[in-house]
Structure 1
């Protein structure tokens, strides 16, 4: 180390793990940009590494783990942990994006669906399962994001992926809406599960609400809103860090 070089004392450069409750309408990338901008402005930095450990769609809310500085090296560790969600599946209708990003393209009657049938079919979606990511997703194929291809009207073959669902429980069944709780592995698309669940019922379904409640041991109850972070981020006591 250069004896004339000043040691790094900025806590965000040294590395922080921030638990953020992402609001609806914000992309994960926008949250990262907001936090990076605040830190750079406050400390007069030209650059700082900031990243998230697992994307949440703009139409979803909940826990987003943000890593700064040297802690960004551990993003994959946080990203690999089991995730928990709550949300709502609307049966009797499908959308191309499997959620509310696109308009309904097919409708189905739900009169023959019963709570008993719904509970029985959930068993098909626990354990190790195969699912296709939605065409409206950020996965790249041939250098392009799938959602770019979808919005351009192009069709493409998407390979199935193996994921693990440890918990899939239904609650508050008020057709056509069904509330659920899911615990699953990295790479699980809840939108795809909602779509496939409707298909397995010989019906249709799409995701109409989603909230991430936990990533591993980190829970949304311990997260800050963006407003809280902006007001308090200079106080390290407000920065949940597994090393503290």
Structure 2
């Protein structure tokens, strides 16, 4: 791969492994800044396909130049995630962004019950997005209402979950793998799964591993991308 100004302007699909605690927008902005700085250009189109929460890691597709027109196409593809649900407690954000607000018993839980309950969450399911999300209502993002302590009605939506597999059970932790459609909130899935088990639950780790045919094993880190740009710049001088 030979990085050049024309390479990025013509359009590329770049696969990144988003680091923990970064927003998707921060990563896009950093990539755009690096390209502009390297080639001393004022403008370059850069966008991402499918936002990841700051507390999630994994595959983020970043498109440049003319390929930004394909973002909607990539966003519509099936996604795969792995992660960890902690049973026996809930949080308002459904993940570790907020503190535990309620605890529940877990003595009644066993491997069979946990694995059997996944069947309730496969196929077409109704899901309510978390109130701590970037979805907009009346021109404001839902997390703005949540942080202000304002209650807001959030309509449920239909999403498709083609696979929900439990890969490890060490209570209160449960590891999983999920394949799902665009618009699925894994935080909501964790919350609803805990509720179905009469135990409560929240997400403690999340990693996106696939988008369509794109796999995180083919993704690069921001550090490796920056190093490759520097190398390309040095060889062109």
Q: Distance in 2 between matches of 1:226 and 1:165?
A: 31
Determine if contact 2:87/2:201 at 8 Å carries over to the other structure: yes
Provide structure 2 residue ranges, at least 5 long, that are not aligned to the other structure.
233-237
How far apart are residue 235 of structure 1 and its match? 7.3
Q: Distance in 1 between matches of 2:133 and 2:5?
A: 39
Q: Distance in 1 between matches of 2:220 and 2:194?
A: 35
Q: CA RMSD in A?
A: 1.3
Give the corresponding residue for 2:92: 96
Give the corresponding residue for 1:180: 176
Whether 2:105 is the aligned partner of 1:109: answer yes
Name the CA shift for 1:66/1:235 in 2 (closer, same or farther; >3 Å): farther
Whether 2:104 is the aligned partner of 1:127: answer no
Give SS of 1:233's match: helix
After TM superposition, list the pairs within 5 Å mapping 1:1-244 onto structure 2: 10-233=6-229
Give the corresponding residue for 1:242: none
Post-superposition, which runs of at least 4 consecutive aligned residues in structure 1 deviate over 2 A? 233-236
Give SS of 1:148's match: helix
CA deviation profile, 1:12-37 (whole Å, cap 9, x unmatched):
11111100000101000000000000
Q: Distance in 2 between matches of 1:79 and 1:48?
A: 21
Q: Distance in 2 between matches of 1:220 and 1:50?
A: 20
User: How many corresponding residue pairs?
Assistant: 229
How far apart are residue 233 of structure 1 and its match? 3.4
CA deviation profile, 1:74-107 (whole Å, cap 9, x unmatched):
0000111000000000000000000000000000
Q: Distance in 2 between matches of 1:139 and 1:25?
A: 19
CA deviation profile, 1:40-92 (whole Å, cap 9, x unmatched):
00111111111100000110000000001110000000111000000000000
How far apart are residue 11 of structure 1 and its match? 1.2
Name the CA shift for 1:138/1:206 in 2 (closer, same or farther; >3 Å): same
Q: Distance in 2 between matches of 1:233 and 1:152?
A: 42
Q: Distance in 1 between matches of 2:205 and 2:231?
A: 33
